[in-house]
Amino acid sequence: MIITRLSVSLIVSNQRGVALITVMLIVALCSIIAAQMTTRLQTQMQRSTNISFNQQAYWYALGAEAFTKRVLIKAFKDEPKVTHLEQIWAEEGNNYPVAFGEISGEITDLQSCLNLNALHPKAKTKDEAADSGAGSSAKADSKTESNSASSGKSASDKQLPAATVLEGLIVNLNIEGIGNFEAEAMVNALTDWLDSNDMITGAGGAEDNDYASREFPYLAANSYLASVNELRLVEHFTPAVILALTPYVCVLPQNAQHLININTLDTEKPELLQALLDSTLEDAQNVLSARDSSGYENVEDFYNLPELSKINIEKWQKSQFVIDSQYFKLKGSARFNNSYFSMSSIMKVNETQQIQVISRTIGRN
């Protein structure tokens, strides 16, 4: 009898132990679920906060864009036909404090660099550029031109001015392992990248078959460049070449215009003017040094420089230069709390002094 009662007591005690363990497991499981729910809720709240902060930084960046429009309008109110580096738009990048953050921006002239899209077939040939007259205003809309030249013209007259300048610029930069042959191949490959036909240009040209045979195949754009970074896809353009070219070149969206503002060329980058004039580096430096800080009021004043007297400038070379600019780029950034937003906007100044945003790129590049 005593043994039976002892057995029953042990069984009841074991059942209570199992029940206690079960309850503890349930409590632990509930605690884990509650902790996960709390973590997810905190993550969602932080994500919503980040989105809100990023959106505010975006609106601050748009504010920088609107402010840039007012700066450009003010700059050209008194000098509508001249663009130079003493105007207020040319000031170095500034920072403006705002509530819980800051806005910064820098305006650059996109006609103080070589437009890579000027190698597009719609650009003027040397012959057409010479016939159109030198010093034409940059405020006029570029017209679609044909590459066809009269039968009496040489092959050189049928070339694009920008192609000759780009080839010379690549050589002038003295990139290791890059000479005239490599520079010509790059220009040919870029020409094929821009044109719509499947005919290879020169010995260094590349079309769809060349790109389709790669490990990760793709096709030539057969259209305007959207960014300088697109050169990474073009045959022969190595990272070293692109890195060296970037300070000297730019891209005007859907525009084959090739007009360089002599008033805004950087004195620290004479290699571009050297390529434009097909001169020595010393001559290009002397020409830039002779320019006043307010530039030239007439393009003829530039042509009459004594420093240019020993340089044989052809008509097509003269047609490259203007004294006013139509396209500008804003590199703006905004910070709000811990959120950062960067944006690049390309703006066009119309003849009526109205500012139009023609391109907007999100990101540091």
Per residue of the chain (365 residues), what is the pLDDT tens digit? 555 555 556 555 666 667 778 878 888 888 888 888 888 888 888 788 878 888 899 999 999 999 999 999 999 988 889 999 999 999 887 888 988 889 999 999 999 999 999 999 999 888 888 887 544 444 444 444 444 434 445 556 678 999 999 999 999 999 999 999 999 999 999 999 999 998 998 888 999 999 999 999 999 999 999 999 999 999 999 999 999 999 999 999 999 999 999 999 999 999 999 999 999 999 999 999 999 988 999 999 999 999 998 888 999 999 999 999 999 999 999 999 888 899 999 999 988 778 999 999 988 76
Rounded to whole angstroms, the Cα distance separating 277 from 168 reads 10
Q: What residue numbers bound the domain in which 291 lies? A: 114-322
DSSP class of residue 37? H
pLDDT given at position 5: 57
pLDDT given at position 138: 42
User: SS3 for 192?
Assistant: helix
DSSP class of residue 338? T
DSSP sequence for 252-297: -TT-----EETTT--TT-HHHHHHHHT--HHHHHHHHHTS-TT--S
* Within a domain: 104: no
Give strand pairing partners of 342: 333
The CATH number of the domain where 283 resides is what?
A: 1.10.40.60
* Within a domain: 136: yes
User: SS3 for 96?
Assistant: strand
DSSP sequence for 237-258: --HHHHHHHTTTEE--TT----
* Within a domain: 81: no
* Within a domain: 229: yes
Count: domains in the chain:
1
pLDDT given at position 146: 41
* Within a domain: 97: no
Cβ contacts of 244 within 8 Å, gap of 6 or more: 173, 175
* Within a domain: 77: no
pLDDT given at position 130: 82
Q: Which residues of 106-131 are buried (b: 16+ CB within 10 A; e: fewer)?
A: bbbbbbbbbbbbbbbbbbbbbbbbbe
* Within a domain: 45: no
